[in-house]
Amino acid sequence: MKIITTIAELRAHLAAFKRPAFVPTMGNLHAGHLALVRQAKPLGDVLVVSIFVNRLQFLPHEDFDTYPRTWEADCQALEAAGCDVLFAPSEQELYPEPQGFKVQPPAELADMLEGHFRPGFFTGVCTVVMKLFACVQPRVAVFGQKDYQQLMVIRRMVQQFALPIEVQGGATLRAADGLALSSRNNYLSTTDRAEAVQLSQALQAMARAVRGGIVDVATLEQQAMQALTARGWQPDYLVLRSRHDLQAPTASDITTLAQQQGLVVLGAARIGHTRLIDNLEI
């Protein structure tokens, strides 16, 4: 595996390849990331993974400074997973001056759910992903489905800018108890880790109710929020949405969408000091 830290060197190295496959990450890699890497491996003639903790997608009170940085372990894991090129630019390399030009996704995609609770998050994500795409010029890029809204926003960005990149989603990996793997799981205390599975269980209960024919979405969502709150969580949202655009389905659409496998439940909630997100397609 070649480790490259400058855009110039990356371009020179990738000039020899026709179809780079790309997995962007912020490091602190777990089995979920490595599954994306393995998914991407056969899709191109060279596999590039980036590690860059992107300041632009963190709010001032969020965990940019404390975001886990595990360089040695990440390098070993990537090498073992078949990564050919690890692109790890410094902040100075990727943002040599304040990033004045930004990619701002439309409000109807990016101001709800995660974007509502983390204003500016998707502008930060789209800006860095666009810049990483400009550096790597991949033909295919793989993003985790755990960040469901992020995947949708990036697909739309690629489509609207007519970027010649195929975007693939990678399935969420889960711990044995069902907790979705996430770098932020590292923040959980032992007690909170035991409790954390309740988020995916809440989503499963919502999915069961919808499959069982419940169409009163407002009550379903409210009850799910109340149940988690009663256990000591601070939920941001637990919602049923259309997979296509993440808009709330009308009561009359639910049955049809459920039959067409067109629904997803999404949740974000804080347990202790840790904010977790998860989703489940129905």
Please count the other Cβ atoms lying within 10 Å of the Cβ belonging to residue 18: 9
Q: In the complex, what is the shortest distance from the CB of residue 244 to ligand PAF, in angstroms, rounded to a whole number?
A: 21
Nearer to ligand PAF by Cβ, of 54 and 123: the residue is 54
Residue 240 contacts residue 220 (beta carbons within 8 Å): yes
Give the integer Cα–Cα distance in Å for 187 and 201. Answer: 20
Which of 125, 130, 206, 282 forms a contact with ligand PAF (CB under 6 A)? 125
Which of 4, 26, 46, 202 forms a contact with ligand PAF (CB under 6 A)? 26
Q: In the complex, what is the shortest distance from the CB of residue 150 to ligand PAF, in angstroms, rounded to a whole number?
A: 6
Q: CA torsion 225→33→109→244, rounded to 10°?
A: -80
| Interface stretch with ligand PAF, choices 94-102, 123-131, 192-200, 269-277 (CB under 6 A) | 123-131
Nearer to ligand PAF by Cβ, of 51 and 238: the residue is 51
- Examine residue 158 and tell whether it contacts ligand PAF (CB under 6 A): no
Closest C-alpha to 66, from 276, 277, 235, 274: 274
- The interface with ligand PAF within residues 164-203 (CB under 6 A) comprises none
- Examine residue 74 and tell whether it contacts ligand PAF (CB under 6 A): no
Catalytic residue, from 33, 61, 116, 244: name it: 33
Q: In the complex, what is the shortest distance from the CB of residue 24 to ligand PAF, in angstroms, rounded to a whole number?
A: 4
Nearer to ligand PAF by Cβ, of 134 and 194: the residue is 134
Which of 109, 129, 157, 238 forms a contact with ligand PAF (CB under 6 A)? 129
Q: How many residues bind ligand PAF (CB under 6 A)?
A: 10
Cα within 13 Å of Cα(62), Cβ side = 18
Give the integer Cα–Cα distance in Å for 244 and 247. Answer: 8
Nearer to ligand PAF by Cβ, of 25 and 137: the residue is 25
Q: In the complex, what is the shortest distance from the CB of residue 119 to ligand PAF, in angstroms, rounded to a whole number?
A: 16
Nearer to ligand PAF by Cβ, of 47 and 128: the residue is 128
SS3 label, residue 28: coil
Give the integer Cα–Cα distance in Å for 201 and 40. Answer: 30
Residue 70 contacts residue 29 (beta carbons within 8 Å): yes
Please count the other Cβ atoms lying within 10 Å of the Cβ belonging to residue 104: 11
Catalytic annotation present for 13:
no
**Per-residue DSSP letters for 37-98?**
HHHHGGGSSEEEEEE---GGGS-TTSSTTTS---HHHHHHHHHHHT-SEEE---HHHH-SS-
- Examine residue 25 and tell whether it contacts ligand PAF (CB under 6 A): yes
**What residues act catalytically?**
33
Binding interface with ligand PAF (CB under 6 A): 24-26, 54, 57, 125, 128-129, 147, 150
